[in-house]
Structure 1
Amino acid sequence: MPAPRKYPQELRDRAVKMVFDLREETGGKTGAIARVADRLGVHREALRSWVRQADVDEGKRPGTTSSDAQWIAELERENRELRRANEILKVASAFFARELDPRLPR
């Protein structure tokens, strides 16, 4: 189960939109994150990472998109589960092979 988030998703989305709008109005990147973070009471580095991830999701910056990261996490979870099941099956087959071997004493 993932850890609870400090900031709700609605606040994150609103803050990122405000940064993009402010950048569009002023025509520059400098200071937009700091102004929005101070205005909303959000940590600057948290907002900076949200904006960076939004840029990746929109294709403006290289990196792993949110949907790809979620898909990878699901595949890794499934992989761990399958490895565990495989290990259980190996142990069970070894147990039953020993039980059925007439050469071994019971």
Structure 2
Amino acid sequence: MTDKKQRPHYSPEVRERAVRMVMEHGGEYPSQWAAIVSIAGKIGCVPQTLHGWVAQAERDAGKRSGPST
């Protein structure tokens, strides 16, 4: 038995929808982080998780430097 907490697994559809919500509604918030915090609460994940998904989506789209998937 390990002491690690089990992380919930989110389906690709949930991830895509959450990232899309940040991209589409980000202008309604004072910052991208504020949008991430709000939307993360709605889908049931921590903001850091959603931030990672958004950052990867931005890398994949060429909007942020780093390796794409």
Unpaired runs of at least 5, structure 2 = 1-7
- TM-superposed CA distance for 1:53, in Å, is 0.2
- TM-superposed CA distance for 1:43, in Å, is 1.7
Residue 5 of structure 2 aligns with which residue? none
| TM-score (normalised: structure 1) | 0.53
Q: Distance in 1 between matches of 2:33 and 2:20?
A: 16
1:32 matches 2:35 = yes
Q: Distance in 1 between matches of 2:60 and 2:14?
A: 18
Q: Which has the higher contact order (CA 8 A, sep 6+)?
A: 2
Q: Which has the larger radius of gyration?
A: 1
Q: Distance in 2 between matches of 1:23 and 1:31?
A: 8
In percent, how many aligned pairs have the same letter?
A: 37
How large is the Cα RMSD of the aligned pairs?
Answer: 1.7
Q: How many residues are paired up?
A: 62
Which runs of at least 4 in structure 1 moved beyond 6 Å after TM superposition? none
Unpaired runs of at least 5, structure 1 = 67-106
